[in-house]
């Protein structure tokens, strides 16, 4: 069994393929013109930081290198390499198979097969099974995710349970949680939002029973989690794509509860926190906030996969300032009078809430659009959306 963690020395050989599939000359032009583009009564303002981050770019690059290096081998992905349907479709078209598809199974893998691990990483148990099968592994796990893993491992070794701000079903959070319990006596609890953090705080302060707490978190904690034992000493961690302001707020809530329970002088014995939001996620959140404060906009458009956590959080930020449309690609812009989008979490907690917006474009006067894209959205998709926006306004 071999594990490749630094590519396969074929970066230059796949560069043209990556440019063909994901580059946009229009996006280059918008960047060169100060991240804005005017066409008739439409002005598009593009956030200074958007789209593919380093970790995503690296993961996709490694996948292309893998297909080039092993043209005659069966190549598999454990699941989506990133949360973008267009990128995953390209990989499927290249012949890469997905173990999450109904017709595939990890149990059918052979030692001559190649398996790519996605940017989110994989749970410890899944990695062990792949290793036991002798497959060649291409590990594209993002460095920011690895940093979170180191923190939760350190918590567990020091006797602290990991409280993870994230989505319990998300690939990255599941992988991170597995790292906590891979250490002897390690435990974790996953909290999604302020409401769930408040339940934990109430338990710490003694105003909420452990039975009720565990009923609520029964599907988002480690096996055998005992709040009487496992919420005495806690360490905070995050899914790297969460909203930073929310993660910090939840951390402060739990910190304050620990102070109320144990006293400020004993805080270090009961509470730890390390900032684990990745820099690229934060850069994109900061950039759209800066843009939205510069001027008034007719609306904002956020581009990215509907299952992309960092994209949904960009939409949440925008929705706090202006009408916001989270779209997957240019096909969502059906016409100047019809738009399909996904409801932002600021407006709805329904994960699969598709919306049809009629008469979304102002019919008269200038239109100013704030535009950004999630870290798993390639430039070509951004460029296609810009072209479609221009076409809809100028029809």
- Give all domains of the chain, ordered by start, each with its CATH number: 24-53+280-393 (3.40.1010.20), 55-141 (3.40.50.11270), 144-277 (3.40.1010.20)
Nearest-CA neighbor of 59 among 110, 14, 1?
A: 14
User: 351 pLDDT exceeds 50?
Assistant: no
* pLDDT tens-digit map of 166-205: 999 999 999 999 999 999 999 999 999 999 999 999 999 9
Phi-psi region at 365: left, alpha or beta (left = phi > 0; alpha = psi -120 to 50):
left
Average pLDDT of span 28-56:
97
* Segment 91-99 long-range contacts (CB within 8 Å, at least 24 positions apart): 91/63, 91/67, 94/64, 94/67, 95/67, 96/63, 96/66, 96/67
Measured from the Cβ of residue 320, the count of other Cβ atoms closer than 10 Å reads 12
CA-CA-CA-CA torsion for 217, 219, 221, 226, nearest 10 degrees?
A: 60
Average pLDDT of span 156-162:
98
Average pLDDT of span 197-218:
98
Q: Do residues 323 and 299 lie in contact, with contact meaning Cβ atoms separated by under 8 Å?
A: yes
User: 348 pLDDT exceeds 60?
Assistant: no
Q: How far apart are CA 212 and CA 254, in angstroms?
A: 18
* 18 to 267, 362, 366: CA distances (angstroms): 50, 37, 36
320 given a catalytic annotation: no
Phi-psi region at 105: left, alpha or beta (left = phi > 0; alpha = psi -120 to 50):
beta
Percentage of the chain exceeding pLDDT 70: 98
Which position among 126, 171, 172, 345 bears the catalytic label?
172
Average pLDDT of span 297-324:
95
- Give the 3-state secondary structure of residue 63: helix
User: 343 pLDDT exceeds 90?
Assistant: no
User: 350 pLDDT exceeds 50?
Assistant: no
Q: How big is the CA angle at 230 (ends 226 and 235), to the nearest 5 degrees?
A: 145
Largest CA distance in the chain: 66
Nearest-CA neighbor of 116 among 90, 89, 97, 103?
A: 97
- Give the pLDDT confidence score for residue 301 in this predicted structure: 97
User: 352 pLDDT exceeds 60?
Assistant: no
Residue 347 — pLDDT band, cuts 50, 70, 90? low
Residue 346 — pLDDT band, cuts 50, 70, 90? low
Which DSSP state fits 118?
Answer: P
Q: How far apart are CA 286 and CA 298, in angstroms?
A: 20
End-to-end CA separation in angstroms for the chain: 58
Nearest-CA neighbor of 213 among 223, 234, 228?
A: 228
Residue 278 — pLDDT band, cuts 50, 70, 90? confident
Average per-residue pLDDT in the chain?
A: 95
Residue 1 — pLDDT band, cuts 50, 70, 90? confident
Measured from the Cβ of residue 280, the count of other Cβ atoms closer than 10 Å reads 21
Distance of CA 326 to the CA centre of its chain: 15
Question: Could you tell me whether strands 354-358 and 338-342 are parallel, antiparallel, or unpaired per DSSP bridges?
Answer: antiparallel
CA-CA-CA-CA torsion for 208, 183, 54, 64, nearest 10 degrees?
A: -120
């Amino acid at each position: 069994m071999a594990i490749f963690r630094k590519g396969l020395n074929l970066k230059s050989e796949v560069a043209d393929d990556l440019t063909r599939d994901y580059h946009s000359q229009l996006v280059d032009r918008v960047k060169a013109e100060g991240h804005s583009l005017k066409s008739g009564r439409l002005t598009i303002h593009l956030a200074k930081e958007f789209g593919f981050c380093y970790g995503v770019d690296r993961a996709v690059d490694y996948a292309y290198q893998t297909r080039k290096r092993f043209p005659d081998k069966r190549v598999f992905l454990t699941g989506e390499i990133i949360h973008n349907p267009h990128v995953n479709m390209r990989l499927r078209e290249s012949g890469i198979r997905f173990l999450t598809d109904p017709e595939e199974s990890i149990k059918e893998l052979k030692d001559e097969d190649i398996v790519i691990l996605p940017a989110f990483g994989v749970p410890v148990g899944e990695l062990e099974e792949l290793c036991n099968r002798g497959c060649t592994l291409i590990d594209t796990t993002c460095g920011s995710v690895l940093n979170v893993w180191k923190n939760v491992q350190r918590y567990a070794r020091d006797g602290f349970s990991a409280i993870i701000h994230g989505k319990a079903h998300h690939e990255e959070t599941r992988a991170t949680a597995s790292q906590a319990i891979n250490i002897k006596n390690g435990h974790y609890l996953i909290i999604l939002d302020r409401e769930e953090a408040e339940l934990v705080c109430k338990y710490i302060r003694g105003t909420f029973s452990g039975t009720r707490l565990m009923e609520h978190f029964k599907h988002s904690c480690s096996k055998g989690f005992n709040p009487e034992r496992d919420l005495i000493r806690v360490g905070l961690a995050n899914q790297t794509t969460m909203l930073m302001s929310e993660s910090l707020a939840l951390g402060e809530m739990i910190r304050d509860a620990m102070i109320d329970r144990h006293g400020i002088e004993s805080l270090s014995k009961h509470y730890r926190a390390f900032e684990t939001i990745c820099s690229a996620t934060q850069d994109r959140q900061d950039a759209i906030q800066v843009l939205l404060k510069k001027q008034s906009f007719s609306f904002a458009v956020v581009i990215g996969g509907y299952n992309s956590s960092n994209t949904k959080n960009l939409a949440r930020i925008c929705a706090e300032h202006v009408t916001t449309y989270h779209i997957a690609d240019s096909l969502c812009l059906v016409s100047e009078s019809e738009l399909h989008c996904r409801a932002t979490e600021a407006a709805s907690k329904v994960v699969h809430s598709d919306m049809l917006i009629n008469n979304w474009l102002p019919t008269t006067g200038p239109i100013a659009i704030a535009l950004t894209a999630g870290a798993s959205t390639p430039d070509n998709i951004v460029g296609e959306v810009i072209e479609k926006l221009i076409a809809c306004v100028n029809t």
